[in-house]
Each structure stands twice: as structure tokens, then as C-alpha cells.
């Protein structure tokens, strides 16, 4: 299909996201096409590794194609989005468990669905332009596509901070937080890709990696641990108010703009995910929320405010960031019965 190109060259299977005009937003057909390629290459002895790349300078993938979900939901069609998320999460798990090296070249924005594509493989490369974020709470969703597990495994309380605020991470911070593991200057990417294609040797990526400077998260760790270790959202907000300083004020503003349902669910999911051993467990829990999100959560209103009307003034179901009742969050994360991901 035109929006994603899959091909084999030399020793590599190559997936190229080809929607640069839409920041390579991931659609349901794109997800299925990528999965089909991964399935075809899994047992092909001619393919030693997979390269994930994207056209355009602005984004590797800025997220899922959520505008279509809005229009479907407004028309009363809830199942298409649920089918998309189920299939997308299955792809995320296959990437995480793939038996061959996957080398992701992630330029520009890597958000939401882009994290699910690029940040679970073995060799996750970022460069100067890379900006990683999980801003889902701002649109009434939760950090999904297995991103909750990455956040839960981040050092200290970095996961809560990044997940609740949607903070954009530069290359150094993305590596520190666990979204990427290699920094390669952008000018070196073409030669590295040629070497990977020719040899099928993924250690070429490790050899091309360079030290990266500019990480801000390590210096924030004492404050983040102090604030985001609080048990509840109310306590986190209270600690942020008492903390002062630019980072705390920015975090406070970001949280107050976001969906109360999404914030509370994200906090609960991250706390549970610290006990998970695999992406499978993470996406199973995430799916319970996303399955309900456009009917019982704030997702449709979040898309409206951000992408459709673009007034940036969402009318959430609850009036304050910490106002979502605990029983409601428990319901959003409860079993879906036969609809649970198995």
C-alpha cells in the first residue's frame, strides 16, 4: 500500500512509513501491512534483520490515525477502533518478541503509536532531531502500545512524570528513559543502513553509536522522585504546587490540562506495570481502557478539541485533574470478559 512500503534488499527486510504529510500517522491498514511483512520475514533465512524507517524529516511516526476514530465514534461505530487497537497491540507484541534484530531509525517526532513501532525492537536509534513523547492523557487516552511498560521500567519516577505530563524527550533523555538505546548522528544513517543491508549484521548499529549529551532527566531525578512517588494524583498536584521552579510549574500546567480519567488510569496502570514481565501483560491492561475510552472515557472529546475543532479547550467529564472517582477508574481497567486480549 502507498502509506507504508515493505521490501527486501540484501540481508534486510525494510519497512518504510510513507505518510510524511500526515507525520506518518499509523492507520489500521498500515498496521496490518507491517505485521504481514514481519510474519513473512520471521522464518525467511535470507532475512537476517529488519530495518524500520520513515520518510520525511518531521516524524518517524507521530501516533495513530485518531481522526478517523472520532468520526466513527460520533456516528456510533465503536468497534472499528477496538479492532484497530487489538491488531496494533498484537503487532507491538510481535515486535517486542521478534527473533531477529529490528533496527529502528527514529527521526523527529516519535509519539504514541510511533513508540509502539519503534521502541520495542532490539536496536532503537535516535538522532539530533528525535523527540519522544507519550502525550495521550492530553487527548483522553493513556500511554498504550506497550508504552506503559517502558514508562514503568524507567529510572525512579521518570515514568509517572513523562506519562502524566506528555513531556517531550530529546535523544539523550529518550535513551535515559528507555525508549531508545543508541544515538547515531543523522548524517551517519545512510551509510549505516547500507552496511546493515549488505551484511545483515546488527552489531554495525552498535559500532556506529556515539555518546550523546543534553540529558535533563538525570538532574531532575531528586525532584521527580520526591513528587511523583506520591500515592494519589491529589498528592502529586499538592507536591508540585509546593515544589516551585520552572519544571514543576510546567508539569502542573500540563497535568491540569489533561483528562482526569486518563491521568488517574495512567497512574494506576504504571503502578501495576512495575510488576509485569512482558509487553503482553501491558497491552492487555491498556486494551481494557482503550476499548472503553471512546464510549466511557474522554477520548472523543479530546480528539475534538485537539484535532477537529482545534480549540484546545476540552470539556472533560470531570472538572479537576484529580476528580475522577476511584471506582470509575477501577471499572475502566476491569476485565472485558470475552473481549479481553488473550
Q: What is the DSSP letter of 139?
A: G
The predicted-structure confidence for 23-82, as pLDDT tens digits, reads as follows: 999 999 999 999 999 999 999 999 999 999 999 999 999 999 888 888 998 899 999 999
Q: Quick one: pLDDT at residue 237?
A: 98
Q: Quick one: pLDDT at residue 68?
A: 85
The dihedrals phi and psi of 196, each to the nearest 5 degrees, come to: -65, -40
The predicted-structure confidence for 218-252, as pLDDT tens digits, reads as follows: 999 999 999 999 999 999 999 999 998 999 999 99
Q: What is the DSSP letter of 136?
A: G
User: The domain that contains 148 carries what CATH number?
Assistant: 3.90.226.10
Closest CA to 24 of 102, 108, 101, 82: 108
E strand map for the chain: 4-9, 12-17, 49-54, 59-61, 102-106, 109-111, 123-126, 131-133, 182-183
Q: Determine the longest span between alpha carbons in the chain, in angstroms.
A: 59
What dihedral do alpha carbons 239, 240, 244, 249 form, nearest 10°?
A: -170
Contact (CB, 8 A) for 47 and 100: yes
The 3-state DSSP class for residue 299 equals helix
Q: How far from 39 is each of 42, 45, 232, CA to CA, in Å?
A: 5, 13, 42
Range of the domain at 131: 1-342
Return the H-helix or E-strand segment holding 42: helix 28-42
The 3-state DSSP class for residue 187 equals helix
Q: How far from 193 is each of 7, 58, 132, 226, CA to CA, in Å?
A: 14, 19, 22, 43
- 10 Å CB burial of residue 282 (0-12, 13-18, 19+) is buried
Q: What is the CA radius of gyration of the chain?
A: 19
Alpha-helical (H) ranges within 154-259 are 158-165, 171-177, 189-199, 203-208, 217-228, 233-243, 246-257
Cα 109 to Cα 146: distance, rounded to the nearest angstrom: 18
Catalytic positions, please?
Answer: 64, 113, 136, 144
The predicted-structure confidence for 168-208, as pLDDT tens digits, reads as follows: 999 999 999 999 999 999 999 999 999 999 999 999 999 99
Q: How far from 50 is each of 64, 113, 125, CA to CA, in Å?
A: 22, 18, 13
Cα 31 to Cα 38: distance, rounded to the nearest angstrom: 11
> Average pLDDT in the 79-104 region?
98
Q: Quick one: pLDDT at residue 342?
A: 84
Beta pairing partners, 108: 59
Sheet strand arrangement including 59-61: 59-61, 109-111, 131-133
| C-alpha cell belonging to residue 277 | 514481565
Closest CA to 53 of 105, 13, 1, 118: 105
Q: Quick one: pLDDT at residue 310?
A: 95
Q: How far from 2 is each of 17, 18, 32, CA to CA, in Å?
A: 9, 7, 13
Strands 182-183 and 49-54: unpaired
> Average pLDDT in the 7-24 region?
98
What is the number of domains present in the chain? 1
> Average pLDDT in the 279-295 region?
97
| C-alpha cell belonging to residue 100 | 531477529
User: Using 50, 70 and 90 to split pLDDT, how confident is the model at 1?
Assistant: confident
Contact (CB, 8 A) for 70 and 80: no
Q: How long a stretch of residues is the chain?
A: 342
Amino acid at each position: 500500500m502507498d502509506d507504508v512500503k515493505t521490501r527486501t534488499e540484501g540481508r534486510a527486510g525494510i519497512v518504510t512509513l510513507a505518510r510524511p504529510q500526515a507525520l506518518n500517522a499509523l492507520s489500521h491498514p498500515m498496521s496490518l501491512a507491517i505485521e504481514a511483512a514481519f510474519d513473512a520475514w520471521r522464518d525467511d533465512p535470507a532475512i537476517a534483520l529488519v530495518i524500520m524507517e520513515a520518510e520525511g524529516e518531521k516524524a518517524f511516526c507521530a501516533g495513530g490515525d485518531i481522526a478517523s476514530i472520532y468520526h466513527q465514534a460520533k456516528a456510533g461505530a465503536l468497534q472499528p477502533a477496538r479492532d484497530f487497537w487489538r491488531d496494533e497491540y498484537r503487532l507491538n507484541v510481535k515486535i517486542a518478541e521478534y527473533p531477529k534484530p529490528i533496527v529502528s531509525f527514529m527521526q523527529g517526532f516519535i509519539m504514541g503509536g510511533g513508540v509502539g513501532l519503534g521502541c520495542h525492537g532490539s536496536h532503537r536509534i535516535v538522532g539530533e532531531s528525535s523527540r519522544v513523547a507519550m502525550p495521550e492523557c492530553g487527548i483522553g487516552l493513556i500511554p498504550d502500545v506497550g508504552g506503559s511498560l517502558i514508562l514503568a521500567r524507567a529510572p525512579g519516577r521518570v515514568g509517572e512524570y513523562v506519562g502524566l505530563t506528555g513531556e517531550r524527550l530529546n535523544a539523550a533523555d529518550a535513551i535515559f528513559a528507555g525508549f531508545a538505546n543508541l544515538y547515531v548522528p543523522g548524517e551517519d544513517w545512510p551509510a549505516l543502513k547500507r552496511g546493515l543491508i549488505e551484511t545483515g549484521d546488527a552489531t554495525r548499529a552498535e559500532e556506529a553509536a556515539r555518546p550523546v549529551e543534553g540529558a535533563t532527566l538525570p538532574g531532575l531525578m531528586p525532584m521527580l522522585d520526591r513528587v511523583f512517588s506520591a500515592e494519589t494524583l491529589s498528592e502529586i498536584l499538592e507536591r508540585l504546587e509546593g515544589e516551585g521552579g520552572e519544571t514543576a510549574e510546567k508539569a502542573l500546567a500540563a497535568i491540569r490540562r489533561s483528562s482526569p480519567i486518563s491521568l488517574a488510569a495512567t497512574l494506576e496502570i504504571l503502578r501495576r506495570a512495575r510488576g509485569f514481565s512482558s509487553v503482553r501483560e501491558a497491552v492487555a491492561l491498556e486494551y481494557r481502557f482503550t476499548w472503553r475510552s471512546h464510549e466511557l472515557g474522554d477520548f472523543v472529546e479530546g480528539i475534538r478539541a485537539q484535532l477537529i475543532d482545534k480549540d484546545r479547550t476540552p470539556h472533560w467529564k470531570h472538572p479537576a485533574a484529580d476528580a475522577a472517582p476511584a471506582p470509575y477508574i477501577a471499572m475502566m481497567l476491569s476485565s472485558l470478559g470475552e473481549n479481553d486480549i488473550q
